[in-house]
A = this chain, B = another copy of it.
Amino acid sequence: MGRTSDAREKILSAARSLIELRGYSALGVAEICKTAGVPKGSFYYFFESKEALALTVVDEQWAGQRRAWERVLHGGAAPLSRLRLLFEETEAGQRAGQQSCGTVAGCLFGNLTLELSNQSEAVRDRLQGIFEAQVEMVESVVAEALGRGEVSVTDTRAAARALVAQLEGQVMFAKLYNDTDRLGPLWANCLALLGAPAPRVSAAGA
């Protein structure tokens, strides 16, 4: 039992790295198993198909990222400070990835959205749910900042979508130029989108 669980984890880990590096379509089950060091028969013991594997990779990635977002966005700091921390942690995460594998990998969900949403309805559905959840988490912080008079937006949902879109767009450019400094302006962009005063040195404080 210990060994079987281990094989499943090895397959998932290999798939996560390979999808991050080369996308989904370019991969075959044989290559995933070879990288994982498990026999091909194991694959179909754990996963019905390559699509089922991709969905599991997405779910596990989101489970981890969701916990990180909740920790930051439900923290005790002032709402705008929590948003700022979200962008800073995103930048730090992309930088750590670049240092370990040489290239900025970008956002797994954004990558798969552009690669797969017109090919797999199951993947599209899962990614829609993830981005909807991200927007809801950001929206609740924006609404809190609005209640404190710190931002001036007329539609908190639209504002939250604009923030997540800006994040995805800038992460795309960080990947394209293999340069995490591209994420530096996220905080100033966020304040502008929310109609908040321009960044000040003290803005990070609660």
Contact of A169 among B103, B167, B176 (CB under 8 A): B167
A32 at the interface (CB under 8 A from B): no
On whether the beta carbons of A161 and B175 are closer than 8 Å, the reply is no
Shortest C-beta distance, A186 to chain B (Å), equals 9
Contact of A175 among B114, B164, B177, B195 (CB under 8 A): B114
Hey, which chain B residues are within 8 Å of A167, CB to CB? 169
On whether the beta carbons of B165 and A172 are closer than 8 Å, the reply is yes
Contact of A114 among B106, B165, B193 (CB under 8 A): B106
Chain B's closest residue to A154 (CB) is B198
On whether the beta carbons of A175 and B118 are closer than 8 Å, the reply is yes
Residues 111-150 of A contacting B (Cβ, < 8 Å) = 111, 113-119, 124, 127-128, 131
A68 at the interface (CB under 8 A from B): no
A166 at the interface (CB under 8 A from B): yes
Closest 7 CB pairs of A and B: A165-B169, A169-B169, A25-B26, A25-B25, A168-B169, A111-B114, A114-B114
Known interface pairs A23-B23, A26-B26, A167-B169; 11 further A-B residue pairs with C-beta atoms within 8 A, sorted by A's residue number: A23-B119, A106-B114, A113-B175, A114-B114, A117-B178, A131-B176, A161-B173, A162-B170, A162-B189, A168-B172, A192-B194
